[in-house]
Amino acid sequence: MKIAVASGKGGTGKTFIATNLAALLAEQMQVTLVDADVEEPNAGLFLGPKITGELQVDLPVPALDADSCTGCGQCAAACRYGALAMVGNHPLILDHLCHGCGACTYICPSGALFEVGRRIGVVRMGSARQLRFIEGRLDPGQALAPPLVRATRARAAEEDGLVIIDAPPGTSCPVVAAVTGVDYVVLVTEPTPFGWNDLSLAAGMLRQLGLPLGVVINRWGMGGYPVEEQCRRTGLLVLLRLPWDRQVAVTYARGQLSIDDSPHWRRALGELYKAVVREVRP
């Protein structure tokens, strides 16, 4: 089973839920934690994984053999990202704009364009506590997160057992890449207007993808916003409420897991898993 933890709004507690849930369940079953928030991968900070392997991820970008180029300009005309511009008789390659689609090399009639790999980041594999750990890590200065999210997911596809994916915030292409094909999405929100606004946008995206989802309201009691009523009104299932607790912030600030603090958190996250299983396999 694959469960993604996503949110819309950042900072609602995705990594908190994903790391604590994964570490708890790994005591009883085979679990792989996948950090698919490749722009800011943080799960490792709380799990302290021993990294045993690293895979470089490249984006295929065009390079030019100027001697073969006839200057026909078909490559620049084909590129929809503005990554090739004709300057004089040759295309100028602006590879930071390239999406690696391959249209330019496909269309080039003289074989003057070929592809080279440009590094965008790495996928790192290892283990932590009793779980398998996989994270994607985008290089700062690189713009395109989705190909790296896909590469991270592809590495995780080889894992058996339960896979828990810590997704990036937002509602755009990196999140789509992180959640596509999972069995269930847990959306973490908080009782503020920001939390609700972004939750409803994220739920809209997941409905478009046809993915089943349930909501965890984190920091319950902190903001006065009636997020649970809003969920009920719009037909969103609330799986769990986690109370606001200063100790959680303190534990998080130390880079530790709350399941090690108190049996209360073990119970709460155990209930969350049971609720998800009930939804996935009724």
Partner 1 sequence: MKEITIISGKGGSGKTSLTGALRLLASPLVSVDADVDAPNLSLIAGAATRLEEHEFIASSVATVDSEKCNGCNHCGQLCRYGAISAGRVDPLRCEGCGLCQLACPNQAVTMEEVESGRWFVSETQSGPLVHACLHPGAENSGKLVTAVRRRARELATAQGLALILADGPPGIGCPVMAALTGSDLALLVTEPSPSGLHDLERVWRVCQHFRIQAQVVVNKSDLSPENTERIEAFAKEEGMALAGRIPFDRAVTAAVSAGAPLNPRQTGKTARAIRQIWEKISQDI
d(CA 149, CA 181): 13
- Give helix then strand counts, H and E, for the chain: 10, 11
Question: 97 with 159: CB under 8 angstroms?
Answer: no
Q: Which stretch binds partner 1 (CB under 8 A): 28-36, 84-92, 164-172, 235-243?
A: 164-172
The one among 2, 5, 6, 8 contacting partner 1 by CB under 8 A: 8
Question: Of these, 55, 72, 78, 280, which contacts partner 1 (CB under 8 A)?
Answer: 78
**Using the rule CB under 8 A, which residue among 2, 9, 90, 129 binds partner 1?**
9
Sign of CA dihedral 282, 160, 241, 37: negative
Which range touches partner 1 (CB under 8 A), out of 3-11, 24-32, 158-166, 231-239? Answer: 3-11
Least distance in Å: CB of 141 to partner 1?
4
Asked whether position 253 contacts partner 1 by CB under 8 A, the answer is yes
Nearest approach, Cβ of residue 281 and partner 1 (Å): 26
| C-alpha dihedral (253, 215, 8, 262), degrees to nearest 10 | 0
Residue 277 and residue 282: Cα distance in Å, rounded?
Answer: 8
107 binds partner 1 (CB under 8 A): yes
73 lies in the site for partner 1, by CB under 8 A? no
Task: Identify the residue among 138, 163, 217, 269 touching partner 1 (CB under 8 A).
Answer: 138
CB of 102 to partner 1, least distance (A): 6
Instruction: Indicate whether 250 belongs to the interface with partner 1 (CB under 8 A).
Output: yes
Gyration radius from the chain CA atoms: 22
- Given the complex with partner 1, which of 162 and 165 has the nearer CB atom? 165
Judge residue 225's burial from the number of C-beta atoms within 10 Å of its C-beta, 0-12 exposed, 13-18 middle, 19 or more buried. middle
Residue 72 interacts with partner 1 (CB under 8 A): yes or no = no
Within 8 A by CB and 6+ apart from 234, the residues are: 200, 203
CA–CA gap between residue 168 and residue 153 (Å, rounded): 13
Residue 62 within binding range of partner 1, rule CB under 8 A: no
- DSSP letter, residue 260: G
The reply to whether 141 sits near partner 1 by the rule CB under 8 A is yes
Q: Does 222 bind partner 1 (CB under 8 A)?
A: yes
Question: Which of 8/126 has CB closer to partner 1?
Answer: 8
169-190 b/e with 16+ CB inside 10 Å = b?
A: bbbeebbbbbbeebbbbbbbbb
List of residues contacting partner 1 (CB under 8 A): 7-12, 15, 37, 39-40, 42, 45-46, 78, 80-81, 99-103, 106-107, 138, 140-145, 168-176, 180, 191-194, 197-198, 201-202, 204-205, 208-209, 222-225, 246, 249-250, 252-255
